[in-house]
Structure 1
């Protein structure tokens, strides 16, 4: 959802998740992200371009931006798991 929707949808997901989740309950995001100091796979760069061609508001998000938006609503990333096809599973929890 994060990469195939406008950024505002991600902000809404995080905000409502923070409101609805019990303390310690996980909010799990899955997909491709751009990470600082980590080379982005060429397949992910091509995917990003194809998404933006379909809708300029879509595209891969930076992990920094997602983490910052999560923190703004009281969520903290507690886990990052590398998954197949250059995807990540990110686990956020409300304190």
Structure 2
């Protein structure tokens, strides 16, 4: 599925695909919000839920950019060539 196809679906169908096909990539707590990053085919969905009620507050789908970079930067580590096995 392409991102444009996903965005053209109604919200109920988007959530069905998110729960059925989405792969949870990352999760973190930020104050009273739980942020979840899912991958679906070649795009991502970021979901914010209230930590106490578990109610969905916000959902955004995207392929790249600052929303994805914050997750990539979280896990990026410099490579030390001296530690590579030969």
TM-score range, shorter chain: under 0.3
Give the TM-score normalised by structure 2.
0.27
TM-score, length-scaled by structure 1: 0.25
User: In terms of Rg, which structure is larger?
Assistant: 2
Q: Which has the higher strand share?
A: 2
Larger relative contact order, structure 1 or 2 (CA cutoff 8 Å, min sep 6)? 1
Higher helix share: 1
